[in-house]
Amino acid sequence: MTQPTQSSVFRISQVLRSGEPDTTVIIRGWVRTKREQKTFTFIEVNDGSSMAGLQVVVSDAIAGYAQSIKRINTGASVEIEGKLVPSPGKGQRLEMQAIALVVHGEADPETYPLQKKRHSFEFLRDIGHLRSRTNTLSAVFRVRNACAAAVHQFFQERGFLWVHTPILTASDCEGAGEMFSVTRFDLNKLPIKEGKVDFGQDFFGKPTYLTVSGQLEAEIMAMAFSDVYTFGPTFRAENSNTSRHLAEFWMVEPEMAFCDLKGDMDLAEAFLKYVFKHVMENCQEDMEFFQQRIDDSVLDTANNIINSEFARVTYTEAIDLLEKSNKSFEYPVAWGIDMQSEHERWLAEEYFKKPVIVTNYPTGIKAFYMRLDDGGKTVSAMDILAPKIGEIIGGSQREERLDVLESRIRAQGLDPEIYWWYLDLRRYGTVPHAGFGLGFERLVQFMTGMANIRDVIPFPRTPMNVEF
C-alpha cells in the first residue's frame, strides 16, 4: 500500500493483506463486536471484503468518545480514520488506532436480531435481509462470486461466446419441469373463448412462460458461433421442497458444435477442475472457514477434484456395479430404471468416492434431443454425480440427424410442428454437437459444503417463499 498524502479509503481485506504500520487510512463497515475497556474501546469492523475484520482501538481521547461509543453496537455502520499499528494482542497482525470516527447508522441492540454467537441457518433465512452480514453467508457469497468469475474466465479463455438466451419463452419444450406462466391478463377476468382462456388476446398472443433452460436457444447460437455458453437464471415451478432445489436458480449451459459425447465430458471435467482451482486460489480464507465450521471434507474434496481424474462408466456398467454391490436398496436395481438418489449416492460416495460420469443411458428415460446410439437402446447422455450433491451436471450429444430427431419427437407424443426452428437447424448445415447444463447453486454447495441450497443464493425462491 502506498502512503497517501491524505487518508484514502481502503477495503479491510486490502488493509489486512498489505497495510503498513504508521500509515493513516479510512475504513468503512459494520461493527461485529464492541469490547469496552476502561479508557478505550475495541471494535471489530467488517466490510464484507474478507472473513476477518479490522480491530479498531478507540481511545477516550478522541473527540466525542463517550457519545460515539454509546451509539456503537453490533450491527452499527461506521467510518473510521485511523493509524495502522502493529497489534500487541494475539489474533491479528495489524490494528487501527482511531483518529476520527463517524457513526452512520445505529443498530438498537434490543431489536437487532444478529447476536455475537452462532445462529441456525433456519433462523437466518427468516432474516434474509440481514444474514449476509454473518461470517458464513458472507463467505458463501464471496465464493459464489469467485465461482461466477471462474465460469466466465474458463469459457472466455477457450473462445466460447457468452450468449444471452431469453427468460420469456413460448416453447414448453423438453418437459424439464413445470413452468411458471407469464401473462398480462387480469387473472380475475380472464377472456374466455369456447370454454377456454383466449391466449390470443394476451401480450404475446400465445401461452408464455419463464424459461426452464436456455439449451435449445444455445444450440441455435452454437450453429453460428461454434462454441457458446449461457449463464443466467432459470425457473421451475415444481413443488419440490428439498435441500437441492430452487424455483429460481442459475444455470451454466455450454453448447459446442463439432463435438461428441467424449468432448462434452472432457469439457465438463476440465470446467469443474478449473472452477475449484480458481476458488481455492482466490478464496483461501473462506475455504478454510468452511473446512473448520461447515464440513471438514471440503478441502479434501476440492483437492480431489482438482488432482484426480473423474471416474467414467456407462450406465450399463453402473447398473452392473450396483447389482454386484450386495447392498439392499429401497428401489430395486435393474437395467432400464431411472437411477434413484440412493443409487447415485452409492456410486459417488461409497464406490468411487469422487465425481463419476455416467454415460449412455437407456433411450426411454432421457429427453428426445439426445443422440441415439447405434442399436437404439441407449442415448449419448452423460450425468456427473457428485458426492452429497447428486447430479451436478447433465449433458448429452444432441441428435443432429433430421429424420431421427423427427421420429423421436413423435415417439414421445410431441408435435414436430412446435419445434420447427429446432428441426431447421438439422435441415440447414447440421453438425454433431454437444453440451451440458450445470446447476450453479449446486456447484456452490459442492464447493462450500453448505447443506441447504437456500443458503448459497442470496434470495432463495422456494414454494411459499419470496419475502426478500
- Between 37 and 201, whose beta carbon lies closer to RNA? 37
**Which residues contact RNA by CB under 7 A?**
33, 35-38, 42, 44, 55, 57, 73-74, 87-92, 95, 109-110, 113, 115-120, 122-123, 125, 175-177, 213, 236, 238-247, 249, 251, 331, 338, 340-342, 345, 390-394, 437-439, 441-442, 451-454, 464-465
CB of 130 to RNA, least distance (A): 11
| 3 state SS of 226 | coil
Smallest distance, Å, CB 70 to RNA? 8
In the bound state with RNA, the residue whose beta carbon lies nearer, of 175 and 429, is 175
**Strand runs labelled E in 377-425:** 378-386, 390-398
Q: How far is the CB of 241 from RNA (least distance, A)?
A: 4
357/347 Cα distance (integer angstroms): 10
Check if the beta carbon of residue 253 is closer than 8 Å to that of residue 230: yes
CB 25 within 8 A of CB 9: yes
- Are 96 and 42 a contacting pair, CB within 8 Å? no
- For RNA, give the closer residue by CB, 45 or 202: 45
> How far apart (Å, rounded) are the C-alpha atoms in residues 109 and 387?
42
By C-beta, is 133 or 236 nearer to RNA? 236
Q: Which is nearer to RNA, 30 or 199 (CB)?
A: 30
Convert 283-310 into a string of H (helix), E (strand) and C (coil).
CHHHHHHHHHHCCCCHHHHHHHHHHCCC
Give the Cβ contact number of residue 105 at 10 Å. 10
Q: Which is nearer to RNA, 288 or 424 (CB)?
A: 288
Closest separation in Å from C-beta 45 to RNA: 12
User: At how many degrees (to 10) do helices 440-448 and 261-282 cross?
Assistant: 50
Give the residue carrying C-alpha cell 450386495: 326
CB of 226 to RNA, least distance (A): 23
- Residue 243 CB, nearest distance to RNA (Å)? 4
